[in-house]
Amino acid sequence: MATAPQTRPAGPAAAAPARPLVAARPKDRRGPWAALLALLALGGFVWLAETAFNAYRLQLVVLVLIYAIVAVALAVTSGFTGVFSLGQIGFLAIGAYVSALMTIPPIWKDEISLPGLPPWLAALDLSGLHPQLALLLACLAGGAVAALVAAVVGAPLMRLSGHYVAVATMGFLIIVYTLIVNAGTVTSGSRGLSQIPGLTTGWSAAGWCALAVYVAWRLRTGPAGRAMIASRENLLAARGVGIDVLRTRLLAFVVGAFFTGVAGALLAHQIGTIAPSQFYFQTTFVVVTMVVLGGMGSITGAVVGAAIMTVLPEYLRSVDEGFAFGSIQTGPLFGLSQIVLAVGFILVMIFRPSGLFDDKELGLGLLSRRRRNDGALSADEAVTPDAAPGLLDAAPEDAHG
């Protein structure tokens, strides 16, 4: 892996904490304009969706925005740092359950239906508040609890790399799932929670999505994000210039968990019912596909990946209902859409493992086709986020010496 012409190495590790460890990239003057344009486009689109779309289409738009938050969060957690988390959906579950337990009206969480709830939570009634304020509180609580869990779980887990962290975070996901399924007095087990008020609107989802993208963008272009990318590219070199890799990874993990928790809250208040099976491997695979499809480490790529992977299955769903060849009806074909998605994913891994956008961002810079030379990482670096050891790399078909 070629070393990039990185910005000047920062001062020694003992530098004052106020001083960034890795110098920030020079300011891109087009940045604010691109952001403004994107915000206006998003606002216009949401306005159009809220006023002109039917309920189904509007729901689809909201789901795209919610999954965009999850995908951006995973891009921060895993794409920036190279610490591959398979446990992200555990935080989605935490956000969904915490927020749902807050906003479900007290009559649906009484002694009989959810006896394990603490009295104050069972009595908590947010229906008196403005719906959007209630949703905001629920989102903040869902995100905060997810972030707290991430801080506790991540402190030890972020020491691991490569396979080990993928496996450990997968273990975390299974533990969360097992707890939710079995703690029936609080979560009503595998039946799940219903009666969640439908508070999520296109505007609230869009607002959180914009915030997630903004925070990811600030992280990425700022010292913390550059430290994340440095530790992904070369662990040893990153530590050599004084980056606290554990703290850097933990920051990415906690920020990712917070936004995933918020997305979980939005999701719960969009679809109205949640069950543990929604927060397991199938969803994990879909979200991972979003990020891989968009390009690990690209924020706009994650958003585009989320849009594709949310809209495509909806259209493929009609495939599951079967085909008619003239007079011959195939009958329902359950699972076909999933096969199409999985095979598509494998093809992406084979033919374009770096995703649509690789490490780059879709923006004005890309539109005006001007090369940016201000320290952006080159494409061939990003292809191998954690260098594959061993000589199986590019092994020729016939390996006889």
Closest CB to other proteins among residues 121, 336: 336
The answer to whether residues 312 and 293 touch, using CB atoms and an 8 Å cutoff, is no
Closest CB to other proteins among residues 32, 331: 331
Output DSSP code: residue 388.
P
Whole-angstrom distance, CA of residue 187 vs CA of residue 298: 35
Dihedral, CA atoms, 90, 91, 94, 96, nearest 10 degrees? -110
Q: CB 40 → other proteins: shortest distance, Å?
A: 36
Alpha helices in 272-355 (DSSP H): 281-294, 299-320, 336-351
Which amino acid is residue 291, in one-letter code?
A: V
Q: Binding residues for other proteins, per CB under 8 A?
A: 84, 156-164, 166-168, 171-172, 174-175, 178-179, 182, 235, 239, 245-246, 281-282, 285, 288-289, 292, 333-336, 338-339, 341-343, 345-346, 349-350, 353, 384-395, 397-401
Residue 81 has φ and ψ, to the nearest 5°, of -100, -15
Closest CB to other proteins among residues 217, 357: 357
Q: CB 188 → other proteins: shortest distance, Å?
A: 15
Closest CB to other proteins among residues 58, 160: 160
The answer to whether residues 73 and 211 touch, using CB atoms and an 8 Å cutoff, is no
How far is the CA of 155 from the CAs of 88, 129, 148, 197, in angstroms?
15, 37, 11, 35
Q: CB 278 → other proteins: shortest distance, Å?
A: 16
Q: CB 384 → other proteins: shortest distance, Å?
A: 5
How far is the CA of 86 from the CAs of 167, 275, 333, in angstroms?
7, 19, 29
Q: CB 207 → other proteins: shortest distance, Å?
A: 31
Q: CB 186 → other proteins: shortest distance, Å?
A: 14
Closest CB to other proteins among residues 77, 221: 77
The answer to whether residues 313 and 328 touch, using CB atoms and an 8 Å cutoff, is no
Residue 19 has φ and ψ, to the nearest 5°, of -80, 130
How far is the CA of 44 from the CAs of 37, 51, 56, 111, in angstroms?
10, 11, 19, 45
Q: CB 43 → other proteins: shortest distance, Å?
A: 35
Whole-angstrom distance, CA of residue 212 vs CA of residue 71: 10
Closest CB to other proteins among residues 83, 139: 83
Closest CB to other proteins among residues 81, 310: 81
